[in-house]
Structure 1
Amino acid sequence: MKRKYFTGILFVLPLLMSFTFLKGLDKKVDREIKDEFEVADYSHEGVVVPQELQGKLPSNVTVQNFIKLQHSGNLLGYAYIDKAPSKTAEFDYLVIFDKDLKIARTKVLVYREEYGGEIGSRRWLRQFTGKSKASELNHIAAISGATISVRSMKNAVKDILASVEILQKHNVL
């Protein structure tokens, strides 16, 4: 009896934790998702990546940071939340994909440095909108004084786009 209970908890726990790892970012993520898809509520579940694919992905994709978004049983899209390095710290970012797996929105959720915070501007982040392949990011504009952060955000988005391509190829998405 105890074994069945324990196994059930291990199966359900990752799904319940899908936003808990965000530690205070859940409200920001929730607001961005609702705003992007113009919905008052939605459901989400973590995307399960087979173990044999994990090593092939450039990004760290888990049920906690890559989630499928639905509203009334209809697919809205996906959201990916992660951290990327800046000069001396890390920043948290969000990439929202539409149902066709094109980038609908990117957002820098928390930037922890004195310099380079310009990467959080909507105007600069709009360059990623509509992209669906890593190769489409070759012409992202630089920002004076934010070279490291720009490069880091660009590389992070390239990695998740490449990961999404692999997941599509293997029918995970």
Structure 2
Amino acid sequence: MRLLNQITYPKIKTILLFSIFSFLFLVSYVWNFSFSWAFIFGVNDYIIFLLFTLFIGSIITFLIDKKHKTKLKIYCIIPLFQLLIISLVANPIRTWQIEKSKNETVYISELIENYKIQYKNYPNSLQELEIKTKIDIPRRNFIGTKYKYVISENGNFSLYFKSYYGYDYHYNPKKNEWITND
């Protein structure tokens, strides 16, 4: 009964604890759907669905609170505002992460080209590049995914990374252009 009272009439400690868990869940929810393209809709549709669900939940809990004198609506209002803030902040952060990752990819490509000039062939791996040049080569980009480095049969190399929504960003150093595919 005491636990039920703590939930239905939350004090600041309960609200703070709920807010922390709610925020962590929502961030992981948005992050998880940001890397998947296997769904019918894009991540924004899932966020809109969740916002709509939380809005309806807020209305329902408001009516329950009014009838039973409880304080349940806070459990829908907090995640509703958190998700609104996350969705407003997520796209600018994604854009920044992609651009920083592209810049870093260009830098790594330049190191690979310099390696070829010095050793007459491309390194077999980014680890070999790091060992021989004694330059710290990042393993992961600003998004958190790993850089992929492949030497093709025609003697060139490909450097790319997985991005949001299932896209791969491939850098072509010969043409100084980006090829994006999913």
**Structure 1 and Structure 2 fold alike (TM over 0.5):** no
The TM-score with structure 1 as length reference comes to 0.25
- Point out the structure with the larger helix share: 2
User: Which structure has more strand as a fraction of its residues?
Assistant: 1
- Could you tell me the TM-score, scaled by structure 2's length? 0.24
